[in-house]
Amino acid sequence: MSPRRAKTGKVDWRLCFIADSEASPTRDILWLIEEAVAGGATIIQLRGKKWTGREFLRIAVKAVELLRSKRIPLIINDRADIALACRAQGVHLGQDDLPVRAARKILGLGRLIGLSVNTPEQARKAENVGADYIGAGPVFRTLSKLDLQPLVGLEGLGRIRAETRLPILAIGGITPANAAEVLAAGADGIAVISAITSSANPRQISTKFIEAIGKVRKSSR
């Protein structure tokens, strides 16, 4: 029997901003989220590896409140308990985190569960265990912790695409200049950390990503 999944048909996968506390230690993370959304980000993932549970929940609740009126989904990194407590729209898991099926027992069918993958085999397994979407990468070299994983590259992204019907958010070294190549390789959208957090103008760079993605979609019609 195929695993049951959350409904993803209405999710706008174009641009996921991963608001990472470690990538932006000197900037207000809620301000970064607000600026990214103002620039066009369509999904926000909140990551706080060094936050205490209380601190993570406090910030997550504020993020949910910030995004609610904009109807932008908030995905919590790693912590299914935080996602449930703050009423976020989902959780994103790594290969060594809580298993997808266990997270589904906690969150039910009403929330999204994403899983990071680095190989076609992991992508196939993600679909088999009931993930709603996958984060694939790193596609290119990046300054984030993704460098600990082997590079996927555009060809590898294409092989991942061939192994799954799940929506794919590509991540790792993606810029407005190479976004078209990433989408052409099979991604449904892109996930960005440092390109936005390190920008002097997070709103402007988010808009540039959205414009680049829009050109690709327009030319493919």
Q: Looking at the annotation, which residues are catalytic? A: 47, 116, 145
Which residues have CB under 8 Å from 52's CB, separation 6+? none
SS3 17: strand
Q: For residue 116, which of 130, 96, 141 has the smallest C-alpha distance? A: 96
* Other Cβ atoms within 10 Å of 38 Cβ, number: 14
| Of 65, 202, 63, 66, the residue nearest 75 (C-alpha) | 63
CA distances from 120 to 17, 55, 127, 158, 183 (A): 24, 36, 11, 9, 17
E strand or H helix at 40, and its extent? none
Instruction: Map tokens 């088999």 to a residue.
Output: 128
Q: Tell me the pairing of strands 168-171 and 189-192.
A: parallel
8 A C-beta contact, residue 6 and residue 112: yes
